[in-house]
Amino acid sequence: MNSTINMKAEHEKVWGECLAIIKDILPPQAFDVWFVPIRPLSIEDKKLTLLLPSSYFYEMLEDRYCDLLFMVLNRVIGTGAKLNYRVMMTNSGDAPTLVDQSGGRRQNAGQGQTVFNPFQGHASKKVDSQLNHNYTFANFVEGVCNQLARSAGMSIAEHPGKNAFNPMFIYGGSGLGKTHLANAIGLEAERLNPNLNVLYVSANKFQTQYMEATRNNNSTDFLNFYQSLDVLIVDDIQDMASRTGTQNTFFHIFNHLHQAGKQLILTSDQSPNVLQGLEHRILSRFKWGLSAELVPPDFNTKKDILLNKVKAEGLLIPEDVVDYIAGAVTDNVRELEGVVSSLLAQSILINAEINLDLAQKVVGKIANTTSKVVNISKIQEVVCDYYNLEVNDIQTKSRKRVVVQARQVAMYLARKYTKNSLTAIGELIGNRDHATVLHACKTVAEQSEIDKELRQSLDSIEEKLR
Ligand code: ADP
Ligand code: MG
């Protein structure tokens, strides 16, 4: 009995201390909205369980304040602190039920999570759009870098399928806002017309669902489900490269939806003109509508994005610091956000004042640790540049020594740095089969053990990739 009382006192004490720190940091309104409604339930082995009012609340809290919560918790309980959530749900007058939610960052779909399977269930039911509610137009800062894509996106949301931008193909480098914009269009379309069946899906998830459907003899349901949508958003379509079956099915869905006047929105890290590994008939359809590129933001847009983010976090950052960050972080919005989160962390953890000096340290750290995205095109580019070849050279059947070596090195690095299958790597680099790729990988690995020159070549190529 006594111990229960003590444990109860403990979790309330811990949460009370956390709240005191959070209250100091956040603007009063944010604190009232996001922290006052939370109740501590228990603490066990440094694991604090909190009760949240709803699933939506949980998702918002996780997205906005996960880092803050963990830092504060670590400070109060010590390292190794864990967080567990329970969500209060009221179902049509039933007594509230408790639903466990895992603590920590939510995982991306497809990573150790049960894959969402939308086509199980009643066909006429409204589809859960899978959209990320944090990615709205309201917080998608406008700049020259995204003006065309943003305004086309808005008009699509107003008249999905009934516009000249079908499909809308959004492309650009990593961290420039493709996923954000695609979600914003979906959300706005849903807001304007709540009856629309909108679905956001990553190409990888689409692929997994398709394979599962095939395995379970469910292909027809899969096809019917996708063909019943009003707006289909497929993110990172480049991930469908060399997946013939998936591409085939997608091709049918695309045609069906397009003919029925339904909206398609696709994103990719490359323009449809240079996307490799996708069938010609699909690529040519991508060019039917509008291809809109997102380019790195200019200085002023970076400043606007920063100020927006700073405001959302309830931080105060002096103008010279904002200018410095906008100038120093080159071209990736994700990095800008990383800097703000890091500054927030520093100001909480060591109570540091956010000034130019701190910003310089943080930017230095982020710039060093954020690795660039390495894809097969990039690898081919860097390898060919190193060997003084054109990318086309390694795509040929040439058996010239330098070409063979460059091709093998590219295959080896593609295996090392990307998640592509051997088959995909082979198709993208010189249209070879998977056995050739496997052989190349083995050869390079073995040779580099004994051949100093090759080792040095690999080192300098890998240096350029990082
Ligand atoms: P991509 O899909 O192109 O890799 P994301 O859409 O995931 O990039 O964007 C990376 C991060 O940068 C996201 O958190 C997103 O909200 C933010 N972001 C990108 N562009 C903007 C913008 N114009 N305004 C506000 N935030 C942005
Ligand atoms: Mg993305």
Give the residues across from 291 on adjacent strands.
169
Ligand nearest the Cα of residue 204 is 2
Q: Whose CA is nearest to atom 26 of ligand 1?
A: 140
User: From the CA of 94, how far away is ligand 1's center (Å)?
Assistant: 40
Whole-number average pLDDT of the chain: 84
**pLDDT at residue 125, rounded to an integer:** 52
**pLDDT at residue 408, rounded to an integer:** 96
Question: What is the helix (H) or strand (E) element at residue 11, kind and residue range?
Answer: helix 2-25
Evaluated on CA atoms 10, 14, 15, 20, the torsion sign reads: positive
Q: Whose CA is nearest to atom 10 of ligand 1?
A: 175
Query: Is residue 117 left, alpha or beta, with left meaning phi > 0 and alpha meaning psi from -120 to 50?
Result: beta
Residues of the chain with CATH 1.10.1750.10: 376-465
Q: Whose CA is nearest to atom 1 of ligand 1?
A: 175
Atom of ligand 1 nearest to the CA of 142: 23
User: From the CA of 176, how far away is ligand 2's center (Å)?
Assistant: 8
User: From the CA of 179, how far away is ligand 1's center (Å)?
Assistant: 7
**147-294: CATH, from 3.90.1150.10, 3.20.20.140, 3.40.630.10, 3.40.50.300:** 3.40.50.300
Dihedrals φ, ψ of 82, to 5°?
-125, 155
Q: Whose CA is nearest to atom 5 of ligand 1?
A: 177
**pLDDT at residue 120, rounded to an integer:** 42
Q: Distance (Å, rounded) from C-alpha 50 to C-alpha 101?
A: 10
Confidence bin at 9 (pLDDT 50/70/90):
confident
Percent of the chain scoring above 70 in pLDDT: 88
Give the residues surrounding ligand 1 with Cβ less than 6 Å away. 135, 139-141, 146, 174-180, 305, 333-334, 337
Which structure tokens are listed for 89? 């749900």
Atom of ligand 1 nearest to the CA of 235: 2
Confidence bin at 137 (pLDDT 50/70/90):
very high
User: From the CA of 407, how far away is ligand 1's center (Å)?
Assistant: 34
User: From the CA of 181, how far away is ligand 2's center (Å)?
Assistant: 9
User: From the CA of 42, how far away is ligand 1's center (Å)?
Assistant: 37
Q: Decide which of 394 and 88 is more confident.
A: 394
Task: Assess if CATH 1.10.1750.10 describes domain 376-465.
Answer: yes
**pLDDT at residue 180, rounded to an integer:** 97
Residue 263: count of CB within 10 angstroms of its CB: 28
Residue 111 half-sphere exposure toward CB, CA atoms < 13 A: 5
Residues of the chain with CATH 3.30.300.180: 2-107
Residues of the chain with CATH 3.40.50.300: 147-294
Q: Return the minimum-mean-pLDDT range out of 17-31, 345-359, 441-455.
A: 345-359
Q: Is the pTM of this model over 0.75?
A: no
Q: Is residue 145's pLDDT more than 50?
A: yes
Atom of ligand 1 nearest to the CA of 173: 3
**pLDDT at residue 33, rounded to an integer:** 78
Q: Whose CA is nearest to atom 9 of ligand 1?
A: 177
Residues of the chain with CATH 1.10.8.60: 299-369
Topology of domain 2-107 in CATH is GMP Synthetase; Chain A, domain 3 (3.30.300)
**299-369: CATH, from 1.10.10.1200, 2.160.10.10, 3.40.50.150, 1.10.8.60:** 1.10.8.60
Ligand nearest the Cα of residue 173 is 1
**pLDDT at residue 104, rounded to an integer:** 41
The beta-strand segments (E) located in 231-354 are 231-235, 263-268, 290-293
